[in-house]
Amino acid sequence: MSDRSVAPPSWLVVHTLSRAEKKLAEWARREGFRAELPTYISVKRYRGKVVQFEKVLFPGYVFVRAEGRDGARIQQNRHAARVLVPPDMGEFDRQLREILSAIDAGLEIRPVSGIQVGTRVRISGGPLRGMEGMVERLEAPLSVVLRLDFISEAAAVRLETVDVEVV
């Protein structure tokens, strides 16, 4: 009998083919994997009517909780371009959980092109208390960037000034 503990599944970052994120996430869930595909609501106005679209927050990426050995199986899916493994699983997990928490809290979130240089802040109030991010915009409400460093992507949430403190 072995006394080795079984490590929990890791996150695999699946880089998908163009516009195939939802198909790959659905396949992964059908196969029994936990798949995360962060989305946000985009509002467009057309000739007097307002239309809402659910868009992928990080185009080209699906996050799948699986064993490393499952990477080859996932890679074989026709919607997957390649499977990546974050080098710092703890940091990646923390960053992804922060972004998913912001979405679950119903906060306004949107993609950010590139990570902006700014003041690092800790969120001191509200549903994201304790998380850290970078200030993207100084006008109220603040726009705070939550990063996913491994794929060089970020998302911004809008917070009141009283809910952040400089780190």
Rounded-to-integer distance, Cα 64 and Cα 58, Å:
14
Partner residues linked to 133 by β-bridges: 121
CB count within 10 Å of CB 68 equals: 12
pLDDT digits (tens, 9 = 90+) for 38-72: 999 988 888 889 999 999 999 999 999 998 889 99
87-167 CATH choice from 2.30.30.140, 3.50.50.60, 3.30.70.260, 3.40.718.10: 2.30.30.140
Q: Which residue has the higher pLDDT, 9 or 1?
A: 9
Cα maximum dimension of the chain? 70
Residue 79 one-letter amino acid: H
Q: How high is the pLDDT of residue 30?
A: 98
All structural domains of the chain with their residue ranges = 8-85, 87-167
pLDDT band at 1 (very low <50, low <70, confident <90, very high): very low
CA distance 38 to 55: 9
Q: What is the pTM of this model?
A: 0.75
CATH fold for the domain made of 8-85? Alpha-Beta Plaits (3.30.70)
pLDDT in tens, 82-134: 999 999 999 999 999 999 999 999 998 988 644 344 777 778 778 888 888 87
Tell me how many degrees the CA angle 97-81-153 measures, rounded to the nearest 5. 35
Q: Residue 80, class by beta-carbon neighbours within 10 Å (0-12 exposed, 13-18 middle, 19+ buried)?
A: buried
Q: Where are the beta strands (DSSP E) in the chain?
A: 10-16, 34-36, 39-46, 49-56, 61-66, 80-84, 109-112, 120-123, 132-137, 142-148, 153-159, 164-166
Calpha distance 107→32 (Å, rounded):
29
pLDDT score, position 165: 67
pLDDT of residue 47: 87
